[in-house]
Structure 1
Amino acid sequence: MTDKLKLEIAIKKAGLTKREVSKRLGLSEMGFYQKINNITEFKASEIDALVNMLAIKDIKKIFFAKIVD
């Protein structure tokens, strides 16, 4: 399960908007919205792209929040 708040903070720290991130991932804005709101799941390739794009250090805290807690 994705921690929406932590992901949104990482996007802001990277100086990007959700629109820019969705474009870079090749997703529609609605598709990205569904993923950050846990309606659908991120693919492993999308998580990898986000980790690189946003310089995320600890992916467990963002993308596997409920599993780790």
Structure 2
Amino acid sequence: MSEDSTLDAFAGGEAAEEEADAAPEPSANEIAPATSTYAWSPEGAACEACGEVVERRWRDGDELVCESCKSW
């Protein structure tokens, strides 16, 4: 049987508990950390591309950039 849960697993009961107990736990290598896509700074912060101080910046690759520098 595949590792995917069946619909019966969500109905509860002993079979569902056994299947949930048998499911492998993901390792730390399989879980990607969360990454923000947007930042808001009420006092303003510098755009990492052009240096303009803005309240709202969006993630563009590894940088937080202003709306003008964001490649939409």
Larger relative helix fraction: 1
TM-score by length of 2: 0.21
TM-score by length of 1: 0.21
Larger relative strand fraction: 2
